[in-house]
Chains A and B, each alone.
Chain A
Amino acid sequence: MRAIDLQHLSKRLGQREVLNDVSLTIAPGELFFLIGPSGCGKTTLLRHIAGFLVPDRGHIFFDQEEVTMWPPHRRETGMMFQNYALWPHLNVEANVAFGLEERRVPAADIRLRVEEALEQVQLGGLGQRRISELSGGQQQRVALARALVIRPRSLLLDEPLSNLDARLRLEMRLEIRRITKAFGLTAVYVTHDREEALSMADRMAVMKEGRLLQVGSPKDLYQHPKSLEVAAFIGEANCLLGQVLGKTGDPSIYAVETPYGRLLARKTQERWQPRDGQEVHLMLRPEAIRAAMPSPESNGFPGTLVETLYLGASVQYRVLLKDGVMIQWMVQHPRGDLKREGESLWLEVDSRDLLMLEE
């Protein structure tokens, strides 16, 4: 278990600034996620922690020790690669034993530990198999065993589940989380799959263009995003435009003028002091919307239903607002009749669920 401390990392590759002043502290034993669109720098950041890249500026500490210039093989980090990077010329056992051999562990111990590691990932008895004889899920477990058998002090995972089918992916999410917690590993996990991040992470960071947009727990990021970008990356987000009218009795709730009338919205960033008349975004999640009887006093707006998508556990509607904006509305566990396309609706949202974000 070790803390990972990144201080002001910057890296330029060719003309592109792939990391831009990234600072981040990951606590011992934490399962930390890096998430963002492709090309955002999340894998680059991971490769800095692994030691395959050296930053142009900035420092990397493992606990109190600076490791910025250390080569990968001294860092004691297990790594899982996107395509597993299992060596095709070695069988399962030899793949797993590799790191122990490099550490000059006695042969007898190697045999025991490899066996134990394979048992842990439920691959006992498959040690003599060739890599090409394994299924995708099994290869994945070998990669995990290979990374864990050296008892690393941290585990780095680069989109490890992206090549698995949906069912296996769900299974492995639990498995990886269980194992990192059982080993007490500090783990950094890169993915672009938001469900994976939300369901597994202790904390996570959203990245874009080499910068950290926001760091926090999954619940934090989902409910209190600092920007529309973060909100949209973490989940489905509707966006309305408006102008600030002024504060209300609640210091975090503001009145906002919109094309659909006056709405009450919550400010998520404490330090931001919006001016009256300022243009702002209003973000609301599809599942935070509910239908109601039209009433001008409520926190709501009218719309016309244009499309219905029935998904069983939920229904997704697309609703056209009067200024031409299309929003998504989701009803969980729908009962009774579905709304019909073309129907006029009145939609309401709790003022705590309508987030006011800086433009």
Chain B
Amino acid sequence: MKPFVGGVILIIMILFMGFFFLLPLSGTFRMAFMGPQGGWTLDYLFEIFRNPLYLEGLRNAFIIAIFSTLGCLFLAVPLALIFVRHEFLGKAQFNGLLLVPLILPPFVGALGIQAMLGQAGALNSLLIDWGVLSKDAPIDWLGRGQLIGVIIMNVLHLYPIVYLNLSGSLANIDPQWDDAANSLGCPPFRRFWRITLPLAMPGLYAGCSIAFIWAFTELGVPLIFDVDRVTSVQIFSAIKDLNNNPLPYALVVVLLGLTLLLFFGSRAFFRSDVAGGEGKATLGRPIIPLTGWRGWLATGFFAGVVAIALLPHIGVFLMALSKDWYGTVLPQQWTLEPLERALGHPLTLTAIGNSLRYALLATILDLVLGVAVAWLLVRTKLFGRSLVDGLTMMPLAVPGIVMAFGYLALSRSGQPLDWLIKGEDPLMLLVVAYAMRRLPYVVRSVTAGLQQVHPALEEAAESLGATPIRALWRVTFPLVMPAVIAGGLLAFAFAMLEVSDSMILAQRTIHFPITKAIYTLAAALGDGPSLASALGLWAMLFLTVTFVGTGAILGRKIGALFKV
């Protein structure tokens, strides 16, 4: 019975991943390497590296990724070190607040931060009011059309990921290792370099690699900041002339190749360094309370980071509640009109409906597949399950924009996946695309949950007269339910605010999901930006509710979902 069910799951998963993951990728590859008369060619690939525009795009993507990662480190390392080792005023509250940036899709945040730090934004107005700044020469903090704004936004969005991974690693360092070095005469600063840092390397590496690749391939933020000479945006713009031009395909292949190189290259480099670093602390670390000025410094630092990280949110909030906000510290006129209009506007209304539909179906698909795969991985010893494990984790390493491009290429009429588009409705295509990107998170969440349920708990039920199905239903199911719900909520929330697939795969206005509607509105004249903010605010509220709900179910473990 068990091997049979396992075998069926195995085959379905291999087919699913083959069709919807490997096939789109290989389609892109074929276009990138196939010459005009058939046969293989590397010409297009070389063409990318000869084209100064594409080279500049790649260079900019690297600059954005490197500085975004450095910025994340700059914030996350002191945060994590202080948080794991010390007690200070407001510690419990800050733990939650630090994660808030994760709930706002960065490109909505980009709208907000422009309102705060733009040339006519709140900060400049404040400085002008104070007389520090001349009205005629406002500072362009974000450097419109330049990379600095993109980097700031990325840092504010991604630092929690580095922080979570690092603090998880730090918490797992057995304090005895530190004490041992101490007793051998190693002073604190050297202990940090010789003991703490090497042992925390796995978490640091994991967090940084996620942040780096995310920043490297981020599409939404550079779009909002009008930075068009970045690879991701270049790919996005190239979609219009996809049919006859193989260069965009080659560009996608280059982006994917670089991403994989970074992902696996850095892994090999770091992993050899940290063999045996993944210990588990056997003793609780003594938490040292910070008193006096040190305590205030810690509290101040955390409060400062939270305040800066919330700038984009505050910006979105103010824009959504105001009218004609321009050149003043705070809006002059407050109104609920954009919020109302956001729910009445034909574009936003259909977008919300579309997103709900796409996200709900994608979540259901993810849960069905995720639960099945988790069961296969944890409860069977079937040959080939490690293949399924590897396959379902692969979407983590492939940037969203690469996948979206592959889907687009393969869903054109005459291509193998064209049946995913019914008429012009991209419903099925988007559902599959959303589901694919979040499948690793769901599998991981449910797998972790299932691993917590010792098989003896099921066996106890069976020895007391429950059939295997009944045991699954009465014992295993209730115990993994929190993990299933958490994985599902996460998949749902991310699908609601997914950018790459939404931007690329939804072509007609009536099929736009929320993110593409926000992008379209933000670019529109008149009240577009404030409508976009209002829609973003609704999305934020929605996501907050989702995450608070998840947090309540999972306790503090929600951070675990963002770790590698």
Contacts and interface: CB of A to CB of B under 8 A. Distances in A.
Interface of A: 50-52, 71-79, 81-83, 85-89, 98-99, 102-103, 146-147, 150, 156
A137 to B, nearest CB: 19
A77 B475 contact: no
Contacts, number: 70
Contact of A81 (B460, B467, B470, B474): B460
A25 to B, nearest CB: 22
A150 B457 contact: no
A98 B479 contact: no
A86 to B, nearest CB: 8
Nearest to B458: A85
Nearest to A146: B464
A79 B463 contact: yes
Contacts of B462: 51-52, 71-73
Contact of B459 (A74, A76, A81, A86): A81
Given A87-B457, A98-B474, A102-B466, 11 more contacts: A50-B459, A73-B465, A73-B466, A73-B467, A76-B465, A81-B460, A85-B457, A85-B459, A88-B479, A99-B464, A102-B470
A148 to B, nearest CB: 11
Interface in B443-486: 454, 456-457, 459-468, 470-471, 474-475, 478-479
Q: Is the interface of B mostly helix, strand, loop or mixed?
A: helix
Contacts of A156: 463
A62 to B, nearest CB: 14
Contacts of A77: 463
B456 A83 contact: yes
Contacts of B454: 83, 85
Nearest to A104: B465
A103 B456 contact: no
Contacts of A150: 464-465
Given A71-B462, A73-B467, A102-B470, A81 B479 contact: no
A322 to B, nearest CB: 46
A161 to B, nearest CB: 16
> Could you say which of B456, B465, B466 has the most chain A C-beta atoms within 10 Å of its C-beta?
B465
Nearest to A82: B456
Contacts of B464: 73, 78, 98-99, 102, 146-147, 150
Give the bracket for the number of chain B residues in contact with chain A: 10 to 19
A150 B468 CA distance: 18
A120 to B, nearest CB: 17
A98 B461 contact: yes
Contacts of A75: 463
A103 B475 CA distance: 16
Given A72-B459, A85-B460, A103 B465 contact: yes
Contacts of B478: 89
B452 to A, nearest CB: 9
Contact of A87 (B465, B467, B470, B475): B475
A72 B461 CA distance: 9
Given A81-B456, A87-B475, A98-B474, A71 B467 contact: yes
5 contacts: A51-B462, A71-B467, A73-B471, A81-B460, A99-B466
B458 to A, nearest CB: 9
B383 to A, nearest CB: 12
A30 B457 CA distance: 27
Contacts of A73: 462-468, 470-471
A77 B462 CA distance: 10
B199 to A, nearest CB: 30
A88 B457 CA distance: 9
Contacts of B456: 81-83, 85
A114 B264 CA distance: 57
A99 B475 CA distance: 12
Top 9 A-B residue pairs of the complex, sorted by shortest distance between their CB atoms = A99-B464, A85-B456, A72-B462, A85-B460, A79-B463, A102-B465, A81-B456, A102-B466, A73-B462
A75 B467 CA distance: 11
Given A81-B456, A85-B457, A102-B470, A50 B463 contact: yes
A194 B375 CA distance: 39
A139 B169 CA distance: 33
> Could you say which of A51, A83, A88, A102 has the most chain B C-beta atoms within 10 Å of its C-beta?
A102
Nearest to A52: B459
Contacts of B471: 73
A147 B459 CA distance: 12
A74 B465 CA distance: 6
A78 B467 CA distance: 15
B228 to A, nearest CB: 54
Contacts of A71: 462, 467-468
Contact of A89 (B460, B463, B479): B479
B468 A79 contact: no
A239 to B, nearest CB: 39
Contacts of B474: 98
A78 B463 contact: yes
Contacts of A103: 465
A150 B463 CA distance: 10
> Could you say which of B461, B471, B478 has the most chain A C-beta atoms within 10 Å of its C-beta?
B461
Contacts of B459: 50, 52, 72, 79, 81, 85
Nearest to A50: B463
B474 to A, nearest CB: 7
A214 to B, nearest CB: 29
Contacts of A52: 459, 462
Contact of B465 (A50, A81, A86, A99): A99
A327 to B, nearest CB: 39
Nearest to B459: A52
B31 to A, nearest CB: 46
B466 A79 contact: no
A86 B471 CA distance: 13
A54 to B, nearest CB: 12
Contacts of B463: 50-51, 72-73, 75, 77-79, 147, 156
Contacts of A146: 460, 464
Contacts of A72: 459, 462-463
B467 to A, nearest CB: 5
A83 B479 CA distance: 17
Contacts of B467: 71, 73
B453 to A, nearest CB: 9
A52 B457 CA distance: 13
Nearest to A95: B460
Contacts of A86: 460
Nearest to A79: B463
> Could you say which of B459, B460, B471, B474 has the most chain A C-beta atoms within 10 Å of its C-beta?
B460
Nearest to B470: A102
A52 B464 CA distance: 13
> Could you say which of A77, A86, A88, A150 has the most chain B C-beta atoms within 10 Å of its C-beta?
A88
> Could you say which of A52, A73, A83, A146 has the most chain B C-beta atoms within 10 Å of its C-beta?
A73
A243 to B, nearest CB: 51
Contacts of A88: 479
A79 B479 CA distance: 21
